[in-house]
Amino acid sequence: MPQRVDSFEAVVLPHLKAGYNLARWLLRNDHDAEDVMQEAIVRAFRFYDGFSGNNPRGWLLTVVRNSAYSFLQQNRARELGTEFDEDLHGEIAETPEVLVLRSAQQRLLNQAVEALPVEFREVFVLREMEGLSYKEIADVAGVPIGTVMSRLSRARRNLIAAVARREQVGSAS
């Protein structure tokens, strides 16, 4: 059925970049992100007949998200359902050299987002990188809007505190 492949590639694959970015942020390394992405795309293709045609990006993100979570469940279950551990943020590697302020900040922020528990990281990345609305995030993550709001809010408070703490450490040393 080559026309089915063509249609899938035309409708869904334009959102591959968004899907990969989400997988990479959820899994935190390229190797696993590529494996999960491949599985997600094949899975999406199998379900493609049942896809309504609305919002292919949100649909692909949902499939990618679910694939990433089942991968974590099987391989790194302890990363799921974790609460904030303030110590986690203490382990961020020191920047080896004096860097331009901007790149230091950039590194700091990326590290702080990586250190968020996956449920919080997911909501934050979908909001700030993909620009999804609360409702769209709720649909992708399969949680109520209230949960999206509280996770987003806690993720942000945590990031602001983590970045402020790191900047303090940086200026003190």
Partner 1 sequence: MNCSEAKRLIDAYVDNELDVRGVLELEEHVSHCPGCSVEERGLRELQTSSRANLIRYAPSPGLEARLHAALRAEAKDAPIPIKTAEPAPRRRAWKWAALAPLAAAAALLIVAVPRLLPAPSETSVADAVVAAHVRSLLANHLTDVASSDQHTVKPWFQGKLDYSVSVKDWAAEGYPLVGGRLDYVEDTPAAALVYRRAQHVVNLFVWPSKNAADEPVQRLARRGYSAYSWTTDRMHYWAVSDVNDAELQKFVELVRRRE
Q: In the complex, what is the shortest distance from the CB of residue 83 to partner 1, in angstroms, rounded to a whole number? A: 19
Site for partner 1 (CB under 8 A): which residue of 8, 89, 120, 126?
Answer: 8
> Site size for partner 1, by CB under 8 A?
58
Q: Which amino acid, residue 69?
A: Y
For residues 8 and 154, what is the distance between their CA atoms, to the nearest angstrom?
37
Task: Decide if residue 26 touches partner 1 (CB under 8 A).
Answer: no
Query: Looking at beta carbons only, is 160 or 169 nearer to partner 1?
Result: 160
Measure the CA angle with vertex 163, ends 149 and 116; round to 5°: 50
Task: Decide if residue 168 touches partner 1 (CB under 8 A).
Answer: no
Instruction: Give φ, ψ of 109 to 5 degrees.
Output: -65, -45
- Decide: 29 and 74 in contact? Cβ < 8 Å: no
Q: What is the 3-state secondary structure (H, E, C) of 48-60?
A: HHHCCCCCHHHHH
Task: Decide if residue 43 touches partner 1 (CB under 8 A).
Answer: yes
Instruction: Classify residue 143 by its DSSP letter.
Output: S
- Which of 97, 126, 96, 93 lies closest to 112, judged by CA? 93
Q: In the complex, what is the shortest distance from the CB of residue 38 to partner 1, in angstroms, rounded to a whole number? A: 6
| Interacting residues with partner 1 between 63 and 102 (CB under 8 A) | 63, 66-67, 69-70, 73
- Which of 93, 107, 84, 103 lies closest to 161, judged by CA? 84
Query: Looking at beta carbons only, is 82 or 106 nearer to partner 1?
Result: 106
Residues lying near partner 1 in the complex (CB under 8 A) are found at 1-2, 4-5, 8-9, 13, 16-17, 20-21, 24-25, 30, 33-34, 37-38, 41-43, 45-47, 50, 63, 66-67, 69-70, 73, 105-106, 109-110, 113, 124-125, 127-129, 133-135, 138-139, 143-147, 149, 152-153, 156, 159-160, 163
